[in-house]
Structures are given as structure tokens and as C-alpha cells.
Amino acid sequence: MKIYKTANKIDEELPDNDALALYCKTLKMYLKDNPDLDDIYADSIRKLPSPRQISQDFSFQECKILYETLEYLWKKITKQEIIPEKVIHTAPETLEGCYWMMANGILLKGMNHYSIVKQNNILFCTLLDIGGMTLQEYLHSPPDQLIRFIIKSGALRLFIDKNKKLYAQCTPRTYGEWAKEKVKKLDFQFKAMKVIDLKIPYDGWKSGILIKL
């Protein structure tokens, strides 16, 4: 019975093929930029299937097996757990603090939004298609300049307080393409988004037109 319940839990939380493919791509890029990674993790990443193969050919059962490997590697390398979209939508009590969300639903958490980028810069480069040198320049800039750059590059800035109120910030393009729908699905009673104008100087959370969802 215990095994059955565990299997059901994995089935319910399993990301789709495209999300799994992106996790694989991100880990492979991380290994490329960190060739001195521990051999145990490096060998496991090298053996991962290609993102294209996962997106186009993998069956549900193959995805289940792959997910367990990815979850292990992701936690070892990023020090964070994979939080599938279905869990994000249905279990907001697990979310609190600062996050960056990507278009595919991947979440990265940390002490603050600047430190999340600093600690996961290679992941941000891969997920947002940012040049490594460009990001390094912004990492030496004031925090608000870095945060504006990450928002401009297509990420959604999220903060969830202890009262489970959600605040978000993004560009009009990100809002229209995916962020509005992602946030609408999150099960919080209070959700406020600020859509920023990139032509106006950025001033942290003060920037943007407030939209309540």
C-alpha cells in the first residue's frame, strides 16, 4: 500500500515532457560550464537522454523514471527541490518567501531575489537564454539593476508573505504571454501583480501598474 501511494504521488506531481526536457538541458549546460563537478553527478548527467528525445519520444512510464533521477540531481546541484506546477497550484501552504518563476513553471527560491540569481547564475543563463558575460556584468551592478535585467529577460518576480499574500512583478510581454495565467492558477486568496514599464527608471517593488487577480 505504501508503494502504491508513493507511485500515485509521483503520478500527480510529474512535470510534463517539455518541463523534464528543460531540466535535462539545464543540467547538461551546468556540467558544460562546470567540468570539475563531482564525478558521480557528472556521470549521471552525461547519461541523461537528450531534451529532444524526452519531448518527442518519452512515454509516461519513462518520464516517471527520469523524474526521479532529475529530482535527485537537481537537489544535489541547486540545493533546491523541484516543485512541479501541479503542486504549486494546489499547495500554496508550501510556498513562502522570495522566488523567481520561469515560463515553464520552474521556481528558484532564495533569501532574496538578488541572491537567488547570484547563487544560480548558470541556471538563469540557461533558462532565460542570457549570455554568461552579460549576467556577470549585472551581478556587479546594484541589486535593483540586476533584478530589472532578470525581469526584462522574461522571468516573473514573486514574493509570498507569511499571510499567504502573493506579490509579483514582470514586464507587459511576460504578463501577456504566460505570467497572468500562471498566477491566476495559484491558489492564493490575494494576488497582486505589478507590470513594469521598461522605459521608466526601475525602483524595486514601487515600480509598475498594480493589477489584482
Residue pair 207/169 in contact (Cβ under 8 Å)? The answer is: yes
Note the pTM of the prediction, 2 decimals.
0.77
**What number of other Cβ atoms are within 10 A of residue 3's Cβ?**
7
**80-92 residue pLDDT tens:** 777 766 656 665 5
Q: What pLDDT sits at residue 123?
A: 82
At 10, the pLDDT band (50, 70, 90 cuts) reads very low
- Sheet with 190-195, strands from edge to edge, namely 107-110, 97-101, 156-160, 165-170, 190-195, 209-212
**23-77 residue pLDDT tens:** 898 888 888 877 888 999 999 999 999 989 998 999 999 999 999 999 999 888 8
Which residues, including other chains, have CB under 8 Å from residue 7's CB and lie 6 or more apart?
none
Residue 188 to residue 191: CA distance in whole angstroms: 6
Residue 185 to residue 181: CA distance in whole angstroms: 6
Q: What pLDDT sits at residue 6?
A: 32
**150-209 residue pLDDT tens:** 999 999 999 999 888 999 999 999 999 999 998 988 888 899 999 999 999 999 999 999
